Chains A and B, each alone.
Chain A
């Protein structure tokens, strides 16, 4: 048991923190978030070339760094801190994970080196409009596209929503169900390149401007046989594991962001003088900050635990008992970190007083990101119901 970062992991974390604080300043975030792409391609190029974060979990055989989910979580935590506008979460937290988990050797050869080179971004598209109608369900029941077999391969049709960076990604990994299938049956994942015939993509502007999402329409998109991921595997199980990994990645970002709004609030309270002393000295405000720190610390524990479990789950030689905890660990991390980030961001507005309500101060960017990331993949309550179903049936 060594439940702390190794020296190497600390180094990755520290270099990420230093670089990101330098480049993802509030001014840079505000500039990028109003563009259609939602990120600065030049900054993304620097991340890919100078730090190689996009290569972090890619095996060395494909030119990557061959590191694991713990390192990924460490980097995502720092990205969350600065609300980095970039296709990192979508490309690595969704796309690379999908390829690692279910990609064929040929698919890995085709896409992973391009991602490592910084030439290709990716994302995962699965939810249809019914995800919203059912109160925010994100699993197999929410698929928005259908596939059918053709003489040459497959044909996909349907409408997908809430696809992070879906309008800019070079590779869409689409989860769809076989026409007329139900429940966990007939689910398959496909690699859909950006230029595919019949693929329409639109930026869907959101309340959270710091992360862009798209609406995607698939109109009889034809794909070759080779586009399908893991045809032999249980598609529903693959999708669920992918979503577990995505929950962990999102939770890592949330944990970092939750800590950043706390630090911003403390710093503001130290500078703000009322009744002749800094408001940071008032117990009512100190107690709010203490509650925020508690939630931050427990969030980090949740993320690192889930990351260790995810690593065992991805590693073919991993500890099977721990790997078996992935569903629950990811749900716990997403539940706790979602609630923490929203609590901290909301409390931060209160602690900033009137200026916390202004466009000029950055707190609202965190507040909006908090709600958006909470709703994505299912809220704390949705995760808790999942946990309850594991415990209580």
Chain B
């Protein structure tokens, strides 16, 4: 068991840190510490250009295999990349759904032709993706998707009809991967397909959802005979592909996410020291608890990435989402309590929130999206402890 990195890995760290120092300047300087959950609506055009800058530097798809145009970096180097990226305050990636989800899915399940068609745009940072999973009636119960795919009598492919919801960055995306029913009367996990759909066509309408922060980064997406450009895997295989993709979400980017959390906690500590809250014994306890929770999150993630236990449902990864989501929500509350009454005053009318106010409000979504805390607890109890599965009901 070792926590230190090799000399080669440290050289890699110096390389990425140096590149970021040199390139996160000029028009990109304003992007430092911007973007990411709760701030996704900010600077979309500049952040798209930043994606292309990253690509020029060879910093996109670093974990992808070399054969697919990636850099083939080890887990350690990917960890280091994400840490240094966040440490430098580089902006939240608008390309992360393509790079982290669509790309790995295509690499695992796509045909050669599909890889050639889609991967270069993702790597170059020129084509952005969004994820069409959740629907009004299919949140935690994802197998309940109703969006339909029917054979296209004219083009020979598939036509998509239905509605998706909570679609992050759909308003910026060029492509959407859509889970839809290929067999009209199928139920549950069966009869689904995994489709790649262009967002730039008449049958696709994106409607922003205004959040409690007063801003929008989620959307509703309506498909009305939208043409699917491709299907990944066979019709009926959609659930398998979709689930594999959820597995990619538990990746090394968690370490980068933690560096962002660290930036937020550092800001709270700075305020506590300057406004006197740091002498309050209760605040001291809570700051120490937050600090401890974040440090241990890091070591839990490192155990997860090192594959400490056997099997893909290893306990350290099962608990990860519940841990960070609850921790982050509590951090938002701590930020407000450290600020005291000043926490209530917004930057300006009509409703321009400060970063910490956004954090406080937005973190209420952390314990909902990607599987609510309650669903996470079911998964932990069932897969981690072998407790009985929830009975499945059916409303007649």
Interface residues of A (CB under 8 A from B): 1-6, 9, 70, 262, 266, 269-270, 277-278, 280-281, 283, 286-287, 289-291, 293-294, 296-298, 300-302, 304-305, 307-309, 319, 322, 332, 335-336, 381, 383-385, 387-388, 391-393
Contact = CB atoms under 8 A, between A and B. Distances in A.
B303 A270 contact: no
Given A5-B308, A293-B319, A391-B287, 9 more contacts: A1-B306, A2-B2, A3-B308, A286-B378, A289-B385, A290-B322, A322-B3, A336-B296, A383-B288
Interface in B344-396: 374, 376-378, 380-382, 384-388, 390-391
Contacts of A1: 2-5, 9, 75-76, 79, 302, 306
Given A266-B386, A283-B390, A305 B381 contact: no
B308 A4 contact: yes
B388 A293 contact: no
A7 to B, nearest CB: 12
A254 to B, nearest CB: 14
Contact of A335 (B76, B292, B316): B292
Contacts of B210: none
The 6 closest A-B pairs by CB, nearest first: A286-B381, A384-B288, A281-B388, A290-B377, A388-B284, A290-B380
A385 B284 contact: yes
Nearest to A299: B296
**Central interface residue in A291, A385, A393, by most chain B CB within 10 Å:** A291
Nearest to A71: B1
**Central interface residue in B5, B306, B381, by most chain A CB within 10 Å:** B381
Contacts of B303: 3-4, 300-301, 304
B1 A5 contact: yes
Interface string B281-304: 100110111011001110110110
Contacts of A3: 1-3, 299, 302-303, 305-306, 308
Contact of A281 (B278, B319, B387): B387
A286 B387 contact: yes
B307 interface: yes
Interface in B3-21: 3-5, 9
A307 B1 contact: yes
B299 A302 contact: yes
A5 B303 CA distance: 10
A388 B387 contact: no
A293 B374 CA distance: 14
A387 B2 CA distance: 24
B26 to A, nearest CB: 33
B377 A286 contact: yes
Contacts of B376: 290
A389 to B, nearest CB: 8
B292 to A, nearest CB: 5
Contact of A298 (B296, B377, B380): B296
A287 B299 contact: no
Contacts of B273: 392-393
Contacts of B385: 262, 266, 289-290, 293
A297 B299 CA distance: 10
Contacts of B272: 392
Contacts of A307: 1
A283 B278 CA distance: 40
Nearest to B326: A294
Given A281-B387, A287-B381, A293-B385, A332 B295 contact: yes
Contacts of B378: 283, 286-287, 290
A87 B334 CA distance: 43
A322 B269 CA distance: 23
A70 B2 CA distance: 10
B292 A387 contact: yes
Contacts of A384: 284-285, 288-289, 292
Given A266-B386, A293-B315, A387-B292, A287 B377 contact: yes
A322 B292 contact: no
B380 A294 contact: yes
B41 interface: no
Interface string B318-329: 110011000000
A332 B308 contact: no
B292 A301 contact: no
Contact of B1 (A4, A322, A393): A4
Contacts of A269: 387
A133 to B, nearest CB: 19
A69 to B, nearest CB: 10
A391 B288 contact: yes
Contacts of B79: 1
Contacts of A297: 300, 315-316, 318-319
